Structure 1
Amino acid sequence: MAAGLVISAPASGVGKTTLTLALARAWRNRGLNVQCFKSGPDYIDPAFHAAATGRPSVNVDSWAMDRVSIAHLVGRGADADVVLAEGSMGLFDGVAARGVSGTGATADIAEMLGWPVVLVIDPSGQAQTAAAIAAGLRDYRPGVRLAGVVLNRVASPRHEDLVRRALNEVGVAVFGALPRHAEISLPKRHLGLVQAEEQAEIGKLIDEAARFIAEHVDLDAVLQSAAKWSPHPATNGLNVTPPGQRIALARDAAFSFVYPHMLEAWRAAGAEIVPFSPLADEAPDASANVCWLPGGYPELHAGRIAANARFRSGLRGFAETRPVHGECGGYMVLGAALTDADGVRHEMAGLLGLETSFARRRMHLGYRLAELAAPMPGHEAGARLRGHEFHYSTIVAQPDTPLAVVHDATGTVIAETGSRRGHATGTFFHLIAEDR
């Protein structure tokens, strides 16, 4: 029987990922099998989880997924000793309108699974107020249990003592206090953390974080606070249809944002995935019957993509007879041109008329519910798809026929409809699940 915990915080940027990775590696170093999950739509943290535990991590999302799908995904932790679900944003932060099984908040997952929450609190610039925040989060939603807190970025022993005393007075356990330690900070980028595969020293970084956490956190007390958990058998798996039987999947530093559960669901349905690298000037496999370009950071590699003639001509030839779909960055590459942050315009594949620019940055962020006006690989017209959009590009032109009517989480229609032309389709959102 596994021990289940949720790692959360009052806000983003407090240290959830660092604590999750450090706990996972520290317990793994003690000989325990650790399974991680990520609550919410994040493409990057699961790769860090896998690096820390040696086991694949997947996303669970209460806005986009039903309880059956979440139970199916979490069931992979049945053979683990410890199961950690890393939250996103603050503990109760989600969207205003409820989705399939919740608002997307980490608290939904904690309540659904019955796992207590370990809060990471950064008391910088405060002392006793940190206790008020912890007590408020503990009492905000009766179905969510607080196990205790780990203090991060404590300024001094006196500062730690003030905060600990206040937390003790309100009955909140303190598992440990971390002094400021820049060496274990993970690099940032405009969409969040730098990807795990981009960091040659990721293993050393996680080992250092684990050593640091073991010095300052009572690992035994944290483990004892976890809920004993064994998953209930899920009668059905994920509601995900593969886009084809043999899928040519763009996969490199420019095309890496694809949810792990999607790839697993495709394989479970019998599909074969054939990776190729546009950055290495590779074309999609000629034997594939569909090509899929995930999101990523094409804007950082736009000049190289534009110069890779074999990739672009091979993609165009593929699209003459078979479907090609792009998500977010992949959609931009299917378009006519991409202007980078320096204002340089790069010619893309030209399968769609989309033109985007990073010279005029504007954040697009949020859940998306799309009703397809036409088919796309794996989904018929009329299908309702749930996904998430996060990018900083501005649409310069989107002249092709809209692929879908797209709403945000409040039901408001948005301009990012996606496009279709011939065998090519694209969306700005990353697909998470189809409504059952």
Structure 2
Amino acid sequence: MTPARGLLVAAPRSSSGKTTVTLALMRALARRGIAVRGAKCGPDYIDPAFHQAATGYPSFNLDSFAMPEAMLDSVAALAAEGADLVVAEGSMGLFDGIVAGAGRTGANADIAARYDWPILLVLDVSGAAQSAAAVALGCKLYDARIRIAGVVLNKVASPRHRRLVEAGLAQVGLPVFGALMRDTTLVLPERHLGLVQARETNDLDARLDRLADLAEAGLDLDAILAAAGGRSPVAGPSALPRPPGQRIAVASDAAFSFLYPHMEAGWRAQGAELVAFSPLADEAPPADCDACWLPGGYPELHADRIGTARRFLDGLRAFGAEKPIHGECGGYMVLGDSLEDAAGTTHAMAGLLPVATSYKTRRLHLGYRVATLLADGALGAAGARLVGHEFHYASERTPAPDDATALARVTDAEGVPQGLAGHRRGRVTGSFFHLIG
């Protein structure tokens, strides 16, 4: 099988329109019958669901910091499976990452360099004209490992504005593959962690088709296709995450939806069966499963329903008395004693971990977490090193754990100690960080 070609959609900074351009491109190419697959650079767990809606296939995260190289290649192979073209969406700015060794910074540029994927640079040109070319030229010259194939202009105010921007780009030798005019109706609804989940976005198919129509009208899709290149790994020995059990009960609904696609694929590739259940429908984890996983999501928006879901809570307690349960972020909060919502109402939760969390006063917790497990459990043996990512606004209202009750000792991405994280009690564990590698 010929390895799929790739293209990385990136930008000099956040909020430039990468997601809009990515979804428009994916949907337009898929409508042409091209086998296009999605990927997301970095730890964002919301955008891949939109990629899947646009293409009809799972989209996978590619993270040069959090994933060991063998795992990164295994995930890239998953992304490219059955594809003619992989369209990867960057996160933040093209070169934004951590201070680390070459190729291990977590920046979009690491992924483009590793797979030799040309870059489609999205420029938000609102408030600039020829000066936008200077920014693009800086991106072109900053890192010799990468190649910018061309530029898409976003938030263009008028035909004259476009001519001025294109004049500057011609001077620095960067082709323009099209433009999207300034249009507030293109913006997808957002929540505090980013976009509202794909499953919650009304008329998502109609929105995606409109984006595809705009791509057909405003982008040179043939030139963009011709610019794609590089290589995507073909499937080799799998280095994907190991499953916590062989039959895993996975909470799955609007409150529990942030399970990284490569985790799920890795578990299945190693023979595990995933059995979905819905806490919001008051379903308990099936008793014939040998492990339970509560992913992150938005339990704070559904705290009243969760707190009164007796079959779910009683079933979860019974399960945890005999078998391992792990909760990530939102799942961790539900495993705790209580959850205070943004309005200040406190809701009783499962009481399996000595944790009380609150959204009444929001405080951003963000960044990679490098964890060393303190005891054997569902995530691995004591001393195992894991890498995850934390992104939430909740605060813990209970005393910090100690060595006897914490899940792990953690540092940030640059090795700065962050103390103890998460909790463990019997077979039940949880933490605010989402496991990646």
Normalized against structure 2, the TM-score is what?
A: 0.96
- Following the alignment from structure 1 to structure 2, what is the Cα–Cα distance between the partners of residues 328 and 228? 36
Do 1:5 and 1:83's aligned partners in 2 also have CA atoms closer than 8 Å? yes
In the TM superposition, 1:217-232 aligns within 5 A as: 217-227=219-229, 229=231, 231-232=232-233
Partner of 2:185: 183
- Following the alignment from structure 2 to structure 1, what is the Cα–Cα distance between the partners of residues 230 and 143? 21
Cα-to-partner distance string for 1:251-288 (whole Å, 9 max, x where unaligned) = 11000001011011111111111111111111110111
- Following the alignment from structure 2 to structure 1, what is the Cα–Cα distance between the partners of residues 202 and 181? 26
- Following the alignment from structure 1 to structure 2, what is the Cα–Cα distance between the partners of residues 415 and 206? 43
Q: Which one of 86, 91, 94 corresponds to residue 91 of structure 1?
A: 94
- Following the alignment from structure 2 to structure 1, what is the Cα–Cα distance between the partners of residues 120 and 234? 26
In the TM superposition, 1:231-380 aligns within 5 A as: 231-233=232-234, 235-380=236-381
Cα-to-partner distance string for 1:80-121 (whole Å, 9 max, x where unaligned) = 22211111110000112349x511100000000001100111
Change in Cα spacing, 1:419 to 1:398, as seen in structure 2 (3 Å) is farther
Change in Cα spacing, 1:270 to 1:136, as seen in structure 2 (3 Å) is same
- Point out the more displaced range, 265-274 or 105-114: 265-274
SS in 2 for 1:47: helix
- Following the alignment from structure 2 to structure 1, what is the Cα–Cα distance between the partners of residues 425 and 414? 29
- Following the alignment from structure 1 to structure 2, what is the Cα–Cα distance between the partners of residues 173 and 399? 54
Partner of 1:156: 158
Change in Cα spacing, 1:306 to 1:416, as seen in structure 2 (3 Å) is farther
Cα-to-partner distance string for 1:369-415 (whole Å, 9 max, x where unaligned) = 00000122141111100110000011111455111101111212224
Cα-to-partner distance string for 1:304-353 (whole Å, 9 max, x where unaligned) = 11111111111111111111110011001101111111111111111011
Partner of 2:83: 80
Q: Does 1:414 align with 2:418?
A: yes
- Following the alignment from structure 2 to structure 1, what is the Cα–Cα distance between the partners of residues 317 and 165? 61
Shift of 1:189: 0.7
Count of aligned pairs: 431
- Point out the more displaced range, 362-371 or 75-84: 75-84
- Following the alignment from structure 1 to structure 2, what is the Cα–Cα distance between the partners of residues 39 and 24? 16
- Following the alignment from structure 1 to structure 2, what is the Cα–Cα distance between the partners of residues 10 and 286? 50
Q: Does 1:424 align with 2:425?
A: no
Cα-to-partner distance string for 1:129-148 (whole Å, 9 max, x where unaligned) = 21110000010000010011
- Following the alignment from structure 2 to structure 1, what is the Cα–Cα distance between the partners of residues 55 and 269? 23
Q: Which one of 176, 193, 196 corresponds to residue 194 of structure 1?
A: 196
Shift of 1:234: 5.0
Do 2:240 and 2:262's aligned partners in 1 also have CA atoms closer than 8 Å? no
- Following the alignment from structure 1 to structure 2, what is the Cα–Cα distance between the partners of residues 67 and 353? 37
Do 1:68 and 1:234's aligned partners in 2 also have CA atoms closer than 8 Å? no
SS in 2 for 1:402: coil
- Following the alignment from structure 1 to structure 2, what is the Cα–Cα distance between the partners of residues 412 and 399? 18
Do 2:292 and 2:326's aligned partners in 1 also have CA atoms closer than 8 Å? yes
Return the letter of the residue paired with 2:13.
A
Return the letter of the residue paired with 1:419.
H
- Following the alignment from structure 1 to structure 2, what is the Cα–Cα distance between the partners of residues 140 and 41? 24
- Point out the more displaced range, 411-420 or 143-152: 411-420
SS in 2 for 1:243: coil
Shift of 1:171: 0.7
Shift of 1:236: 2.2
- Following the alignment from structure 1 to structure 2, what is the Cα–Cα distance between the partners of residues 183 and 416? 44
SS in 2 for 1:291: strand
State percent identity of aligned pairs.
55
Do 2:299 and 2:330's aligned partners in 1 also have CA atoms closer than 8 Å? yes
Return the letter of the residue paired with 2:54.
A
- Following the alignment from structure 1 to structure 2, what is the Cα–Cα distance between the partners of residues 52 and 4? 17
SS in 1 for 2:397: strand
Partner of 2:23: 21
Return the letter of the residue paired with 1:119.
L
Return the letter of the residue paired with 2:43.
P
Change in Cα spacing, 1:327 to 1:228, as seen in structure 2 (3 Å) is closer
- Point out the more displaced range, 362-371 or 302-311: 302-311
Do 2:423 and 2:431's aligned partners in 1 also have CA atoms closer than 8 Å? yes
- Following the alignment from structure 1 to structure 2, what is the Cα–Cα distance between the partners of residues 56 and 111? 23
Return the letter of the residue paired with 2:431.
T
Q: Which one of 35, 42, 45 corresponds to residue 40 of structure 1?
A: 42
Structure 1, unmatched stretches of 5+, are none
- Following the alignment from structure 2 to structure 1, what is the Cα–Cα distance between the partners of residues 373 and 76? 29
- Following the alignment from structure 1 to structure 2, what is the Cα–Cα distance between the partners of residues 271 and 87? 31
Do 2:408 and 2:420's aligned partners in 1 also have CA atoms closer than 8 Å? no
Change in Cα spacing, 1:6 to 1:170, as seen in structure 2 (3 Å) is same
Shift of 1:238: 2.4
Partner of 1:111: 113
Return the letter of the residue paired with 1:417.
A
SS in 2 for 1:79: coil
- Point out the more displaced range, 362-371 or 174-183: 174-183
Do 2:293 and 2:325's aligned partners in 1 also have CA atoms closer than 8 Å? yes
Q: CA RMSD in A?
A: 1.4
Do 1:93 and 1:105's aligned partners in 2 also have CA atoms closer than 8 Å? yes
Return the letter of the residue paired with 2:362.
R
Partner of 1:170: 172
SS in 2 for 1:97: coil
Partner of 1:204: 206
Change in Cα spacing, 1:287 to 1:79, as seen in structure 2 (3 Å) is closer
